[in-house]
Structure 1
Amino acid sequence: MSNKQGTTDVILIGAGVMSATLGSLLKELQPDWNITVFEKLDKPGEESSNEWNNAGTGHSALCELNYTPEKSDGTIDITKAIKINDQFQLSRQFWSYLVNSNLIENPSDFIMPIPHMSLVEGDKNVNFLKKRFEALSKSPLFEGMEYSDDPETLKEWIPLIMEGRTSSEPIAATKIDSGTDVNFGALTRMLFTHLQNQGVTIHYQHQVKNIKRGNDGSWELKVKNLQNGTVERHHAKFIFLGAGGGSLHLLQKTGIPEGKGIGGFPVSGLFMVCNKPEIVEQHHAKIYGKAKVGAPPMSVPHLDTRYIDNKKSLLFGPFAGFSPKFLKTGSIFDLITSVKMHNIVNMIGAGLKNMALTKYLIQQLLLTKEKRMEELREFIPDAKSEDWDIVVAGQRVQVIEETEAGGKGTLQFGTKVVHAADGSVAGLLGASPGASTAVSIMLELIEKCFPEHLEEWKPKIKEMVPSYDISLKENPELVQEIQASTAEALCLTSELQEV
């Protein structure tokens, strides 16, 4: 056992896109701070951030129908869609700042322009989509969205999907060209290279085994070096738990009251992938459908054009699965060891309230490849089984907690930041829209955890993210300015979209 000791200003646990984003922001705001990163694996971006562990959608509510629910009076609620779009604009601005400042290079290595589309079938769904289109079109954030229920127009937009379609049901789609495909794995690796160049210390194959508060209010971490088995002690004034599904266990180790009562439910995912060029070239869009009645939001089917390692492919899914692991590289005991006296009521409550989800997961687990192909053929009628393979995606741990609206045992589908009252520790829990809104989430974390620095930092934040603290939905001119400038910096111009 080693007696190695280390003291730093900030410790980031987990080398995913969230830690990379927070570290990059803090290095710009406070360059003299010492930052240390601990990652259990041997490289960054290998869990949820990895390009094969997520759909790579730049989530901005352009196509995701679950962000625009229909209210009881028949109107469409676009509140969440506007919020998520606004948040994604912050990410685009920060990435543009890094590119323009020569802190990262070649934005096309992590972000590509791709139309975002929604596709529905049946009278009721077509009516919903038209109302959604009309509601969103009133916002400057969704300028350029098109709607069509004309089969000939749809054949031009989505030839692969329309070819061989024999259903007599009405069909409609929306299309907007300002969507993106984001390789969050590549972005994560680029950001960590940047952080290393800025003097950030990154320890791979180091696992945090325990966290406790010292007498002076700082935090002490017990860290195991997985290469040689030695145990080290590290101290910091601030800790960020950015370990994906592993963050819940770390949060529990801190003992902060804000983490009490919170549980987690892991859901794994599968995608069908096609790499045959003659098929891939027939489709150029991320196209989202509508979840089946009774299915959870995570089950929204979508057919995505992806750019990974400069190669274009198609992904379809997701298909849900179940594993008790909280990380793809986790332990089968993750779920059971996360159950504590303080959260057991919420965990039991979630089980009782979500029988439909349990049934759905069981049905998904029993699906054969041919059954999955049948679902794919609802998108691509002529899809052949031999052209598609199965890829296992990442683990997502959905938050379980007591809420005012849902009571005890409420299963949350979203992203949640939990922080200590004194701001000395914060953890990120949950799933989508996650990485797409990383900059917004980390700026919110900075506000909560470093309030004493905020006034001093605001000018720099505004330099990096010009729309910070501004509601874009009320400023159409600023929306146009930001979308144009970030499209140029990130090489997302209309000329490229037509290529």
Structure 2
Amino acid sequence: MRNSLFVVLSCFVVASCSKAPAPSNDKPVDVVLIGAGVMSATLGTMLKELDPELTIQMYERMDSVSAESSDAMNNAGTGHSGFAELNYTPEMPDGTIETKKAVDINEQFEVSKQFWAYQVQKQYLGAPQTFINNVPHMAFVWGDDNINFLRKRYAALQKENLFKGMLYSEDQAEISKWAPLVMNGRDAAQKVAATRMEIGTDVNFGALTRSMVKHLTGTHGMTLNLRTQVEDIKRGENGLWNVTVKNLADNKVSTVSTKFVFIGAGGGALPLLEKTGIPEAKGFGGVPVGGQWLVTTNPALIEAHNAKVYGKASVGSPPMSVPHLDTRVIDGKKALLFGPFATFSTKFLKNGSWIDMPASVNTGNVRPMVQAGVDNIPLTKYLIEQVMQSQEDRVGTLREYLPEAKLEDWKLVNAGQRVQIVKDDPAKGGLLQFGTEVVASGDGSVTALLGASPGASTAAPIMLKVIAASSFKDKLKTPEWQAKMKEMIPSYGRKLNGDAAYANQIRQQSSAVLGLKAITLDVTAASQE
């Protein structure tokens, strides 16, 4: 009995007692993409444009494409560009506003827009309105301290070319024109302030992903394997990677040999990265955070509001939980959401397992996980408070943004699941990071994307980092690949914010193709600053 227990425990530790089957393919595939979300679809599209001869296999455990983090209701869909997200512009100890992160994210979103415009021009994606539409981005605050912050933020961002054209107001009547529902029923004596960017966007990343995958399978010959779960990833004696998968329809297990693996499985990426055994994976952990939306069922409310209105995050809350009253365009129909309200479970995916988090803890990351927990007590407190809220409590929070909100007009809908990175730090032991990180093996033959916000909006620039860190990095330096990169992304290798004339050119080109508004920057004024 004791020996049997030892065997069971040993099997749990090493994940499997049986020897992985031999590869079923005689010739290794060039690329295996794990996860059928926006990241894998973006990487697959880029690689096939760079080298159409590459063979690619995509594996997805769900029965459809973009069913997890990339799905419209599982993703904020903001088209994150730093216009309204106040957590991207922190106030420094000396009272100044740090704009670097907001500028960087805006630059990255412009890269994504160029990549999407290229695909639209090539007729890979169909009409751009199926996945991207203009929805103004607003930041809205109340109270003296928050108004002072927003005023300083606006002044700081006016020095950045990519944020020229932003409007600012503390006048209730003016703000009412921008977002009437936000002001209807509000105390006339309440001090408020708002900023507005007309060129903000809403993006349906689910629709975008499905279009890219359809093009990859229909035109480029990529093989899509749905309802197929990756069980293990091990390096073979020949240096190639053996990816063991299970067909969930019949539970048959097979193994594919490949030269390059990309783990783009959202919250499920961390456990798969750990299976590779690469030393670069050591020390990474993850904390899952879920979300819920309040979604209105009242058509009159949906039609009366047209903006993404962002507020300030609660102390200790993760960036993905910044409250916003959010106009969405999903499959051609407008919708109005508020939230997200944070939830907590030990699942790494919305359709994951309750043992995801505990199973990911090992000797390599237990210390940083414990330290991150100790250092983030406010986050724990925040999550507990969020989980304990009633529907009346949530609608009460909504009334801070929509004073006349009625309980009967709103229903609670589960959003997606994200995993925040915990990273080993030599000095502090463990840091909880609110961003994304590319983790690659020394030879670049396996890469993984960990983390969340701003996520999908910056998929194209993130995949540029993946390619630069991958086994394709030498090919990336060739004239042929450099030329193709500049065809897909005209600003490749250049920054926009420091050059108003060039920013005008790039923005107007991509916006025209995508059917979006574009603000013309004052080049003369920019050159005089």
Which category describes the TM-score, using the shorter chain as reference length?
A: over 0.9
1:370-410 deviations in Å (ceiling 9; x for gaps): 00000000000000011011110011011111236x72121
Q: Find out whether 1:238 has 2:260 as its counterpart.
A: yes
**Aligned match for 1:488, one of 495, 502, 512:** 512
Q: Which amino acid aligns with 1:151?
A: Q
Matched, 1:208 2:230: yes
Paired position in structure 1 for 2:527 = none
Cα distance in 2 for partners of 1:377, 1:260 equals 45
Asked if the contact 1:68–1:132 (Cα under 8 Å) also holds between the matched residues in 2, the reply is: yes
The CA distance in 2 between the partners of 1:75 and 1:88, in whole Å, is 25
Whole-Å Cα distance in 2 between the matches of residues 91 and 290 of structure 1? 26
Q: For 1:280, what is the secondary structure of its paired residue?
A: helix
Residue 159 in structure 1 maps to residue 183 in structure 2: no
Are the counterparts in 1 of residues 23 and 257 from structure 2 also a CA contact under 8 Å? Answer: no
Counterpart in the other structure of 1:257: 279
Q: How far does residue 294 in structure 1 lie from its aligned partner after superposition?
A: 3.9
SS at match of 2:424: strand
Contact 1:208 1:224 in 2 (8 A): yes
Say whether the 8 Å CA contact 1:275–1:312 is kept in structure 2.
no
Aligned counterparts of 1:285 and 1:315: Cα–Cα separation in 2? 11
Matches within 5 A, 1:66-145: 66-145=87-166
Q: Secondary structure at the match of 2:422?
A: strand
SS at match of 1:407: coil
Instruction: State the AA in 2 paired with 1:484.
Output: Q
CA separation in 2, counterparts of 1:492 and 1:251?
38
Q: SS at 2:405's partner residue?
A: coil
Matches of 1:280 and 1:305 in 2, distance apart?
8
Structure 1 counterpart SS, 2:442: coil
CA distance in 1 between partners of 2:518 and 2:406 (Å):
33
CA displacement at 1:138 relative to structure 2: 1.5
Aligned to 1:5: 24
> Given that residues 49 and 185 in structure 1 are in contact (C-alpha distance below 8 angstroms), is that contact kept between their aligned partners in structure 2?
yes
What is the distance in 2 between the residues matched to 1:186 and 1:295? 29
Structure exhibiting the larger radius of gyration computed from Cα positions: 2
Distance of 1:146 and 1:490 partners within structure 2: 23
Over the aligned positions, Cα root-mean-square deviation in angstroms equals 1.4
Decide whether the 8 Å contact of 1:160 with 1:282 is kept in 2.
yes
For residues 205 and 293 of structure 1, the distance between their equivalents in structure 2, rounded to whole angstroms, comes to 40
- The aligned amino acid for 1:38 is Y
Unaligned runs of 5+ in 2: 1-19, 520-529
Match for 2:403: what amino acid? Answer: P
Query: Between the two proteins, what is the percent identity of the paired residues?
Result: 52
1:266 aligns with 2:285: no
| Structure 2 residue 497 is the aligned partner of structure 1 residue 473 | yes
Deviating runs (4+, > 6 A) in structure 1? 1-4
Aligned length: 494
Bigger drift between 356-365 and 1-10 goes to 1-10
Aligned mates of 1:431, 1:241 — CA distance in 2:
14
Higher alpha-carbon deviation: 291-300 or 341-350: 291-300
TM-score by length of 2: 0.91
Matched, 1:460 2:496: no
Tell me the TM-score normalized by structure 1.
0.97
Structure 2: distance between partners of 1:45 and 1:290: 29
CA distance in 1, matches of 2:273, 2:215: 28
Offset at residue 275 of structure 1 (A): 3.3
Matches within 5 A, 1:411-490: 411-449=432-470, 450-456=472-478, 457-490=481-514
Q: Is this contact kept in 1: 2:198–2:517, CA < 8 A?
A: no
Deviation of 1:269 (Å): 0.3
How far has the Cα of 1:155 moved from its partner?
1.1
Match of 1:333 in 2: 355
Report deviation, 1:167: 6.1
1:65 matches 2:86: yes
Aligned position for 2:430? 409
Query: How many Å separate the matches in 2 of 1:341 and 1:4?
Result: 30
